Structure 1
Amino acid sequence: MNIAENTADTAQQAANVVQADVQNQVTQSVTTLDHLKDFLLNHGPDVIYAIVIFIVGRYVARAFKNLAVRMMTHANYDHTVITFVSQLIYYAIMALVLLSALNKAGIPTNSFLAAFGAFGLAVGLALQSNLSNFASGLLILIFKPFKAGDWIAVGGVEGSVKGIQMMNTAITTKDNKTIFIPNSSITSSQVTNSSYQQERYITFFFDIGYQNDHHKAIALLKQIFREDRRVLNADTMEIGIREFAESSVRIAAFPKVAKENYYPVYYDTMSKVKDTFDANGIDIPYPQRVIYIQKNEQ
Structure 2
Amino acid sequence: MLVASVQAAEPVSNAVKNQVADSMSYVDKLINFFIDRGPSLIVAVLIYIVGLYIARFIRDVAMRMMRRANYDHTVVSFVSQIIYYGVLAIVLLTALNSAGFPTTSLLAAFGALGLAIGLSLQSNLSNFASGLLILIFKPFKAGDVITVGSVTGTVRSIQFMNTTIVTKEMRTVFIPNSMLTSQQVTNATYQDTRVVPFVFDIGYDNDHHKAIDVIREVMENDERIVNREMVEIGISEFGDNSVRIAAYPVVENRNYMQVFYDTMSSVKDSFDEENIDIPYPQRVVHIQRSGLDENAKPLSDMSQYVK
Q: TM-score, normalised by structure 1?
A: 0.91
> Structure 1 residues 240 and 110 mapped into 2: Cα distance closer, same or farther (>3 Å)?
same
Determine whether 1:248 maps to 2:246.
Answer: no
Q: Which amino acid aligns with 1:168?
A: N
Q: Could you tell me which of 232, 238, 241 is aligned with 2:226?
A: 232
- In structure 1, the residue matched to 2:142 is 148
Q: 1:101 to 1:242 in 2, by over 3 A?
A: same
- Residue type of the partner of 1:161? V
- Indicate how the Cα distance of structure 1 residues 216 and 30 shifts in structure 2: closer, same or farther if over 3 A, else same: same
The letter for the 2-side match of 1:200 is: R
Q: Tell me which residue corresponds to 1:34.
A: 28
Query: Is 1:223 matched with 2:220?
Result: no
Please point out which of 280, 284, 296 is paired with 2:278.
284
- Is structure 2 residue 97 aligned with structure 1 residue 69? no
- Which residue number corresponds to residue 178 of structure 1? 172
In the other structure, the counterpart of 1:188 is 182
Q: 2:258 is matched with which residue: 264, 267, 281? A: 264
**Structure 1: any 5+ residue segments left out of the alignment?**
1-7
Question: Aligned ranges for residues 95-174 of structure 1 at < 5 Å?
Answer: 95-174=89-168
Give the secondary-structure state (helix, strand or coil) at the position aligned to 1:257.
strand
Shift of 1:31: 2.7
TM-score by length of 2: 0.88
Relative to structure 1, the CA distance from residue 53 to residue 290 in structure 2 (aligned partners, 3 Å threshold; closer, same or farther) is same
Q: Among all aligned residue pairs of Structure 1 and Structure 2, give the percentage whose two residues are the same amino acid.
A: 59
The structure-2 alpha-carbon separation of the partners of 1:240 and 1:33, relative to structure 1 and needing over 3 Å to count, comes to: same
Distance 1:12 1:273 in 2: 125
| Residue 162 of structure 1: how far off its partner (Å) | 0.8
Q: Secondary structure at the match of 2:210?
A: helix
Counterpart amino acid of 2:247? A
Question: Cα RMSD between the aligned structures?
Answer: 2.4
Label 1:214 to 1:30 Cα distance change in 2 as closer, same or farther (>3 A). same
Separation in 2, partners of 1:264, 1:256: 13
Q: How does 1:14-53 map to 2 (within 5 A)?
A: 26-53=20-47
Measure, in 2, the Cα distance between the counterparts of 1:131 and 1:255: 44
Question: What letter is aligned with 1:37?
Answer: I
Provide the C-alpha distance between the structure 2 equivalents of 1:75 and 1:17, rounded to a whole number of angstroms: 80
Question: Which of residues 187, 194, 207 is equivalent to 2:201?
Answer: 207
* Residue 264 to residue 12, structure 1, CA distance change in 2 (3 Å): farther
Deviations 1:67-126 (A, max 9, x none): 111111111112111112111111111111111111111111111111001001101111
Aligned residues: 292
**Counterpart for residue 3 of structure 1:** none
Alpha-carbon distance in 2 for matches of 1:119, 1:149: 39
Shift of 1:297: 9.2
* 1:15 Cα deviation after fit: 8.3
Unaligned segments of structure 2, at least 5 residues: 293-307
Write the letter of the residue equivalent to 2:276. I
**Any idea what SS the aligned residue of 1:283 has?**
coil
**Aligned residue identity for 1:176:** M
Rate the CA distance shift 1:201–1:48 in 2: closer, same or farther, 3 A.
same
SS in 2 for 1:121: helix
Give, in angstroms, the shift of residue 26 of structure 1: 3.9
C-alpha distance in 1 between matches for 2:171 and 2:34: 67
CA distances 1:135-179 after superposition (whole Å, capped 9, x unpaired): 111111111100111110012111111111111111111111211
AA partner of residue 88 (structure 1): I
